[in-house]
Amino acid sequence: MSELTVPTMAELLAKGEEPEILFWVGCAGSYDERAQKITRDICKILQHVGMKFAVLGTEESCTGDPAKRAGNEFLFQMQAMANIELLNAYQVKKIVTGCPHCFNTLRNEYPNLGGNYEVIHHSQLIQELINEGKLRAEGGESFKGKKITFHDPCYLGRANQVYEAPRKALEILDAELVELKRCKSNGLCCGAGGAQMFKEPEPGTKDVNIERTEEILAVQPAVVAAACPFCMTMLSDGIKNFNKEQEVEVLDIAEITVKANGL
Amino acid sequence: MIAQILFLVFLLSASILFGRNVAKIRRNIKLGRAEDRSDRPMERLKTMLLVAFGQSKMTKRPVAAIMHFFLYAGFVIINIEVVEILIDGIFGTHRVFAAPLGPVYNYLIGSFEILALLVIVGCVVFLIRRNVLKIRRFSGKEMTSWPKSDANYILIIEILLMSAFLKMNAADYLLQQQNYPHYIQAGAFPVSQFIAPLMPQNAEFLVLIERGAWWFHILGILAFLNYLPYSKHFHIIMAFPNTWYSNLNPKGSFNNMDSVTNEVKAMLDPSFTPLPVAEGSKFGAKDVQDLSWKNLMDAYTCTECGRCTSVCPANITGKLLSPRKIMMDTRDRLTEVGNNIDQHGKDFQDGKSLLDNYITREEIWACTTCNACTEACPVNIDPLNIIVELRRYAVMEEAQAAASVNSMFGNIENNGAPWKYAPSDRFNWAKND
């Protein structure tokens, strides 16, 4: 694999070029150490298939999702309008996000504020690339026969009806795929949505991620696949809580794709 | 003749009373703020046919779905029988549809009987599920004595009504066999023929039973009709308009508040002329009048089945939040506001509000906005939208949120990320591999 090069929109513009797709990294993908790795893996996939992409780099700013879910519509719209101004200035047409929350906000809540883009989540990009034959699962780690389960992120699944795309990335692995008891439209939240990621939970009998982890451990997977940086944090914490890090790996579908292709 | 006059009096008073109560509920719903749900009529029709008429969202729980289908089909189809009863009652006829329908009539009555039996089976199973098996979703903090009794009353009334219908047919069947005058040979009695042997065989007595059951059945229906506006059972009517006015956008799409867009645009561009907005004078909702009419319609549609609460991650893990309670609180507060208007005029303030007097802060902040509740609701109710409106009020009108939430806001505002990291470090991920 050649060295990872990540061009910014500003650099491309300076060269008079424009990318096929803008990769919207998101805050978690930019700052969270675990999510940064997933961010780089998404770039590796884009580079591997030769898709011309760019990021906003330091010009990117929060979509406003957590502010909106927490009721701060002002802050959300301030963020949205600034982002839209930037995206429109770069004449962005297509966006891939590394986070279902950014995906949902950009796709559903930006259009009526003046931001109209084709927005996909990275699982959908992987699905497209597999369907086009540009991406396979070869040349890397074999997942053959491994027991893998998938945790549906709320903002990808129920919120936007994307259930098949992330599963497509797992189906090509020739692994043993098992569904959780609560999956797809019945999926159980990891506990981080609606700004919960940034606050202590209300008093209760247990944390939501523990409830979810118990369900995951019940199917005894070798890998639990995630598709959201917040789910990644919650599930990793849950698995750690049960001291099962050795038995169960929590991997984003982008990481699995990169591993399977040896990128 | 006296019977006909009496029947008309009952029918008219029941209709007027019901009409008045429905008008009151309609008035209450219209206390909500405006929201446009008039777009995409074909998609709305499709949603209503699928979700309300076709019961498509019930199927996730097969046992309840089948039993509920018995009750639903029984209700819809046996209403054809009620039409006959109404005509017979007004004109003093007996089984007026028998002659024009001929042999079809036998099939109709026969199928009504089978449905009536299935309704009884369904109601008994439901009573057992609620009172003997004590299925978890039928309990909970909000399921106080009235909601629990309400559910049982409905099931018992339905059993009584269907029993009266079958008893009436059994007596009729025996009278027909005895060629008793007025009781024409009509109908098939696949269920009630088995009740017939248990009946007295004296003709005068049978007429008394038949008439008694007939009156009980129709007066029962008229009384039940007037119970609806006070009961969760009102969903049998509201399910249809409520699914018609469903949210057709992706569940993750929260509305952008026009009032805020105006302010933000005015801030960015002083020459901007504000657009007209439907939202009220405050941001978000403190009380029911601040919610949209659709939120309020949702509240009257809720039948307290608890599917929302049973899939809510917050509720499952012991938090105070229960989406069903959000809906019941909204309805109860709206009823209270409506009663205040009736008693003290429309400008009366009772000093209470939905937020705090009914729904606590702890409840609204426990929500993960995961949409499990909206997905689970068989009649497309949206408790999440109410929760978000209450949060909006708490945050934008009162600046009341947990310190950690406020610092998240502060970080986004200052650093463009919910955490306290420097914007200049945002692109560092590309370097440290």
Same domain assignment for residues B25 and B120: yes
Whether residue A64 and residue B375 make contact (CB cut-off 8 A), yes or no, is no
Q: Which residues of chain B are within 8 Å of residue A60 when distances are taken between CB atoms? A: 416, 426
Tell me: pLDDT of B204 over 60. yes
Task: Kindly report, residue by residue over B12-34, the tens digit of the pLDDT.
Answer: 999 999 999 999 999 999 999 99
User: Taking Cα atoms as reference points, which of A139, A98, A115, A116 lies closest to residue A258?
Assistant: A139
Same domain assignment for residues B226 and B285: no
Same domain assignment for residues B82 and B215: yes
Whether residue B416 and residue A191 make contact (CB cut-off 8 A), yes or no, is no
Whether residue B313 and residue A189 make contact (CB cut-off 8 A), yes or no, is yes
Under 8 Å CB-to-CB from A52, ≥6 apart: which residues?
A17, A19, A20, A21
Establish how many alpha carbons lie within 13 A of residue B204's alpha carbon, considering only the half-sphere containing its beta carbon.
Answer: 0
Q: Which residue has the tokens 């086009």?
A: A132
Point out the residue among A77, A108, A195 whose CB comes nearest to the CB of B408: A195
Give, for A51, the enclosing helix (H) or strand (E). none
Whether residue B409 and residue A72 make contact (CB cut-off 8 A), yes or no, is yes
CB B379 within 8 A of CB B242: yes
Distance CA A229, CA A25 (A): 11
Strand-by-strand arrangement of the A223-226 sheet:
A176-178, A147-150, A223-226, A249-252
**Binning pLDDT at 50, 70 and 90, where does residue B79 land?**
confident
pLDDT value for B171: 96
Residue B40 lies in a domain: no
Nearest C-alpha of chain A: how many angstroms from B396?
6
Whether residue A204 and residue B317 make contact (CB cut-off 8 A), yes or no, is yes
CB count in 10 Å sphere of residue B138: 19
Residue B326, both tokens: 């959000």
pLDDT (tens, 9 = 90+) of chain A, 263 residues, equals 567 899 999 999 999 999 999 999 999 999 999 999 999 999 999 999 999 999 999 999 999 999 999 999 999 999 999 999 999 999 999 999 999 999 999 999 999 999 999 999 999 999 999 999 999 998 999 999 999 999 999 999 999 999 999 999 999 999 999 999 999 999 999 999 999 999 999 999 999 999 999 999 999 999 999 999 999 999 999 999 999 999 999 999 999 999 999 99
Tell me: pLDDT of B297 over 60. yes
Whether residue A194 and residue B60 make contact (CB cut-off 8 A), yes or no, is no
Percent of chain A with pLDDT over 70: 99
Tell me: pLDDT of B277 over 80. no
**Domain A9-127 indexed as CATH 3.40.50.10490:** no
Distance CA A32, CA B311 (A): 30
Q: Which residues of chain B are within 8 Å of residue A64 when distances are taken between CB atoms? A: 412
Point out the residue among A58, A188, A200 whose CB comes nearest to the CB of B423: A58
Average predicted confidence (pLDDT) for chain B: 95
Task: Kindly report, residue by residue over A48-73, the tens digit of the pLDDT.
Answer: 999 999 999 999 999 999 999 999 99
Distance CA A61, CA A26 (A): 8
Distance CA B50, CA B61 (A): 17
- Mean pLDDT for B324-338 is 98
Distance CA B114, CA B213 (A): 18
Distance CA B176, CA B208 (A): 14
Task: Kindly report, residue by residue over B94-120, the tens digit of the pLDDT.
Answer: 999 999 998 999 999 999 999 999 999
**Does ipTM surpass 0.90 in this model?**
yes
CB count in 10 Å sphere of residue B26: 12
Residue B267 lies in a domain: yes
Point out the residue among A25, A31, A77 whose CB comes nearest to the CB of B256: A77
Nearest C-alpha of chain B: how many angstroms from A192?
7
Same domain assignment for residues B11 and B69: yes
Distance CA B429, CA A31 (A): 7
pLDDT value for B41: 97
What is the identity of the amino acid at A68?
K
Tell me: pLDDT of B433 over 60. no
User: Is A1 part of the contact surface with chain B (CB cutoff 8 Å)?
Assistant: no
DSSP per residue, B314-378: HHHTT-S--HHHHHHHHHHHHHHHHHHHHHH-TT---S--IIIIIB-HHHHHT-----HHHHH-T
Domain that holds residue B66: 2-30+61-244
Same domain assignment for residues B236 and B171: yes
Show which of residues 241-260 on chain A sit within 8 Å of chain B, judged by CB atoms.
none
Q: Which residue has the tokens 């003046």?
A: A114
Q: How many domains does chain B have?
A: 2
Point out the residue among B254, B393, B396 whose CB comes nearest to the CB of A74: B396
Which of the 8 DSSP states describes residue B279? S
Whether residue A202 and residue B372 make contact (CB cut-off 8 A), yes or no, is no
Helices (H), A49-163: 65-69, 73-89, 100-104, 122-131
Residue B145 lies in a domain: yes
First to last CA, chain A: 6
Whether residue B418 and residue A62 make contact (CB cut-off 8 A), yes or no, is yes
Distance CA A121, CA B307 (A): 30
Sign (positive or negative) of CA dihedral B377, B382, B386, B388: positive
Q: Which residues of chain A are within 8 Å of residue B430 when distances are taken between CB atoms? A: 4, 6, 40, 43, 55, 57
The beta strand positions in B152-293, using DSSP E, are none
Residue B267, both tokens: 């801030």
Which of the 8 DSSP states describes residue A23? E
pLDDT value for B1: 80
Q: Vertex B342, ends B339 and B346: CA angle to 5°? A: 100
Same domain assignment for residues B21 and B157: yes
Point out the residue among B369, B418, B421 whose CB comes nearest to the CB of A194: B369
User: Is A205 part of the contact surface with chain B (CB cutoff 8 Å)?
Assistant: yes
Tell me: pLDDT of B272 over 90. no
Q: Which residues of chain A are within 8 Å of residue B425 when distances are taken between CB atoms? A: 31
Q: How far is CA B352 from CA B174, B287, B334, B401, in A?
A: 61, 8, 11, 21
Residue B428 lies in a domain: no
Residue B423 lies in a domain: no
The CATH number given to whatever domain includes residue B330 is 1.10.1060
Show which of residues 48-67 on chain A sit within 8 Å of chain B, judged by CB atoms.
55, 57-58, 60-62, 64, 66-67
Q: Which residues of chain B are within 8 Å of residue A61 when distances are taken between CB atoms? A: 416-417, 423
User: Is A155 part of the contact surface with chain B (CB cutoff 8 Å)?
Assistant: yes
Same domain assignment for residues B83 and B176: yes
Residue B84, both tokens: 């006959």
pLDDT value for B276: 75
Distance CA B430, CA A36 (A): 8
* All structural domains of chain A with their residue ranges: 9-127, 137-261
Same domain assignment for residues B266 and B236: no
User: Taking Cα atoms as reference points, which of B420, B418, B321, B421 lies closest to residue B372?
Assistant: B321
Q: How far is CA B394 from CA B34, B106, B170, B391, in A?
A: 21, 62, 62, 5
Domains A9-127 and A137-261 share a fold: yes
Chains A & B: contacts with CB separation below 8 Å: 216
Distance CA B144, CA B124 (A): 22
Residue B368 lies in a domain: yes
Distance CA A149, CA A221 (A): 6
Whether residue A194 and residue B368 make contact (CB cut-off 8 A), yes or no, is yes
Tell me: pLDDT of B275 over 80. no
Residue B420 lies in a domain: no
Q: Which residues of chain B are within 8 Å of residue A185 when distances are taken between CB atoms? A: 375
User: Is A263 part of the contact surface with chain B (CB cutoff 8 Å)?
Assistant: no
Q: How far is CA A3 from CA A6, A51, A137, A253, in A?
A: 10, 15, 21, 22
Same domain assignment for residues B171 and B68: yes
Q: Look at phi and psi of residue A161 and say left if phi exceeds 0, alpha if psi is from -120 to 50, else beta.
A: left
Same domain assignment for residues B339 and B386: yes
Same domain assignment for residues B313 and B360: yes
> Nearest residue on chain B to A192, judged by CA atoms?
B368
- Mean pLDDT for B165-173 is 95
User: Is A77 part of the contact surface with chain B (CB cutoff 8 Å)?
Assistant: yes
Nearest C-alpha of chain A: how many angstroms from B341?
30
Q: What CATH architecture is A137-261?
A: 3-Layer(aba) Sandwich (3.40)
Which among B215, B244, B273 is the end of a domain? B244
Strand-by-strand arrangement of the A94-97 sheet:
A53-54, A21-24, A94-97, A118-121
Q: A97 has which bridge partners?
A: A24, A121
Same domain assignment for residues B232 and B378: no
DSSP per residue, B371-420: -HHHHH-TT---HHHHHHHHHHIIIIIT----HHHHHHHHHHHHHSSSSS
Q: Which residues of chain B are within 8 Å of residue A62 when distances are taken between CB atoms? A: 412, 416-418
